[in-house]
Amino acid sequence: MIIRPKVRGFVCVTAHPLGCEANIKEQIDYVKANPSVENGPKNVLVIGASTGYGLASRIVSAFGCQANTLGVFFERPSERGRTATPGWYNSVALEKAAKSEGLYASSINGDAFSTEIKDQAVERIRSDMGKIDLVIYSLAAPRRTDPKTGETYRSTLKPIGSDYSNKYLDTDKKTIQEATLEAATDEDIQNTVKVMGGEDWELWIQKLEDEGLLAEGCKTVAYDYIGPKVTWPIYKDGTIGRAKIDLRRAKDAISESLQSIGGRALISVNKAVVTQASSAIPGVNLYITILFRVMKDLGGHEGCIEQMHRLFTDRLYREDDFVPLDDRGLIRMDDWEMEPKIQEAVTEVWPKVTTETVDELTDFDGYQDEFLRLFGFGVKNVDYEADVDPVVNFE
């Protein structure tokens, strides 16, 4: 079939298998063209491995460190004439590329919050990999069923304390609009912490530890975002921000439990990038379009793969084995985003952006291109007029 993008709000309901494969190849080529990771990990588990930051972490592990990788994700294969989700196509392409270079790469598709998927991962690691020396935790999920109680919690993106109004970018209509977000209830806060907080990360590490599958000196890393003041009401000070505070609590608890094997848990605060998760956050897409414009003009613009390559080479696996942290004990990969000259430029532009000035003041086109690329559209050297089979499977 001929596959075209079908955008519905902040998702695209189709994906292009060859475009996704070409995206993976570009990311692999980037890693190969840059310094490899000295003393990198050899056995890596990535939870949330099919898109965004988790996918980029897996690519750096495999192609920058020559590591064996096990990826866990929740994606949909092609069914009844519908295309698969991009994360499915990405993961098939990644496995194929890794195997063609003699690297072990295996995947588990299912709900990472469940005990069943954790058990499957334990079995796979035990039979195929041996001890794990890096666990990346990169889930962005709308809901979680607690494996102990069976209760399902939904995460929300809401301000805390009072309703909040600000402008946002309607990407379909290319207009700047004003929206009011209703303040979260206590239940919204607790539910979001349940889904996006640190509890499940702790359960994963506890299980691997109990099964004796963590190597001496192993590291585990989860991802965080702080961002500038203009996004704080909805991000840092909102429901998702509360979940991230819980993630930091979990980091300390996990680090303590890993002490006996000389392991440690870390949190990396990453830059704002275009992913399926970030496109769903109200107001954040307007910030990203301005940020991209400023960072492309002033320098330092990065996507997921550049960030994750820098995380591995300049933070996690430096020659001196030192992991630089800020005064709160966090790795700051958002250092370039938060530079005063970048933030001052964003702050100056923000109030001036209107529907009429979107093109002039923001990187709207760049944002749209990147958004469509997440689904495999608009990628160089892909023939979008060609008939393609949407059914692509793992070998």
Return the beta strands (E) in 62-117 as ranges: 68-73, 105-109
Phi, psi of 385 (to 5 degrees): -90, -10
Closer to ligand NAD at the Cβ: 111 or 209?
111
290 contacts ligand NAD (rule: CB under 6 A): no
223 contacts ligand NAD (rule: CB under 6 A): yes
50 contacts ligand NAD (rule: CB under 6 A): yes
> What b/e sequence results for 346-363 when a residue is b if at least 16 CB atoms lie within 10 Å of its CB, and e otherwise?
beebbeebeeeebeebbb
Please identify, among the stretches 133-141, 164-172, 176-184, 255-263, the one whose residues bind ligand NAD according to the rule CB under 6 A: 133-141
70 contacts ligand NAD (rule: CB under 6 A): no
Please identify, among the stretches 10-18, 67-75, 161-169, 377-385, the one whose residues bind ligand NAD according to the rule CB under 6 A: 67-75
DSSP lists the bridge partners of residue 221 as: 136, 266
Task: Give yes or no for a contact between 105 and 73, defined as CB atoms under 8 angstroms apart.
Answer: no
Closer to ligand NAD at the Cβ: 36 or 166?
166
Paired tokens of 112? 């990472």
Residues that bind ligand NAD (rule: CB under 6 A) add up to a total of: 29
Return the beta strands (E) in the chain as ranges: 7-8, 11-12, 43-47, 68-73, 105-109, 132-137, 143-145, 152-154, 164-170, 175-181, 214-224, 264-269, 331-332
| Shortest distance in whole angstroms from residue 319 CB to ligand NAD | 26
| 274 vs 375: CA distance, rounded Å | 12
Closest CA to 77 of 60, 64, 95, 90: 90
Q: Which of 30, 53, 168, 364 binds ligand NAD (CB under 6 A)?
A: 53
Q: Which of 27, 51, 57, 192 binds ligand NAD (CB under 6 A)?
A: 51
Q: Which of 19, 40, 64, 87 binds ligand NAD (CB under 6 A)?
A: 87
| 88 vs 78: CA distance, rounded Å | 9
Closer to ligand NAD at the Cβ: 239 or 275?
275
107 contacts ligand NAD (rule: CB under 6 A): no
Please identify, among the stretches 3-11, 93-101, 206-214, 223-231, the one whose residues bind ligand NAD according to the rule CB under 6 A: 223-231
Q: Which of 30, 63, 113, 367 binds ligand NAD (CB under 6 A)?
A: 113
**DSSP assignment, residue 82?**
B
Cα–Cα distances in angstroms (integers) from residue 86 to residues 118, 119, 318, 386, in the given order:
23, 26, 33, 18
Length of the chain: 395
276 contacts ligand NAD (rule: CB under 6 A): yes
| Shortest distance in whole angstroms from residue 3 CB to ligand NAD | 20
Q: Which of 61, 78, 138, 156 binds ligand NAD (CB under 6 A)?
A: 138
Name the residues that contact ligand NAD, by CB under 6 A: 48-54, 72-75, 87, 111-113, 138-141, 223-225, 270, 272-273, 275-278
